[in-house]
Chains A and B, each alone.
Chain A
Amino acid sequence: QVHLVESAGGLVKPGESLRLSCAASGFTFSDHYMTWIRQAPGKGLKWVSYISSSGYTNYADSVKGRFLISRDNAQNSLYLQMNSLSTEDTAVYFCARGGPGVWFDPWGQGTLVIVSS
Chain B
Amino acid sequence: EIVMTQSPATLSVSPGDGVTLSCRTSQTVGSNLAWYQQTSGQAPRLLIYDASTRATGIPARFSGSGSGTEFTLTISGLQSADFAVYYCQQYDSWPLTFGGGTKVEIK
Q: Taking beta carbons and an 8 Å cutoff, which residues of A are in contact with B? A: 35, 44-47, 58, 60, 94, 98-110
Contacts and interface: CB of A to CB of B under 8 A. Distances in A.
A100 B94 contact: yes
A98 B87 CA distance: 16
Interface of B: 32, 34, 36, 42-46, 49, 55, 87, 89, 91-92, 94-96, 98-101
B95 A44 contact: no
6 contacts: A44-B98, A98-B91, A99-B96, A100-B96, A103-B46, A110-B42
A45 B43 contact: no
Q: Which of B36, B44, B55, B92 has the most CB atoms of chain A within a 10 A radius of its CB?
A: B44
B98 A45 contact: yes
Contacts, number: 50
A54 to B, nearest CB: 17
B98 A101 contact: no
Contacts of B91: 98, 100-103
Contacts of B101: 44
Main secondary structure of the interface of A (DSSP, over half): loop
Task: Sort A-B residue pairs by CB-CB distance and give the 7 closest, nearest first.
Answer: A105-B46, A103-B34, A107-B43, A103-B49, A45-B98, A44-B100, A110-B43
A104 to B, nearest CB: 7
B44 A107 contact: yes
A66 to B, nearest CB: 17
Nearest to B90: A103
B89 A104 contact: yes
B14 to A, nearest CB: 26
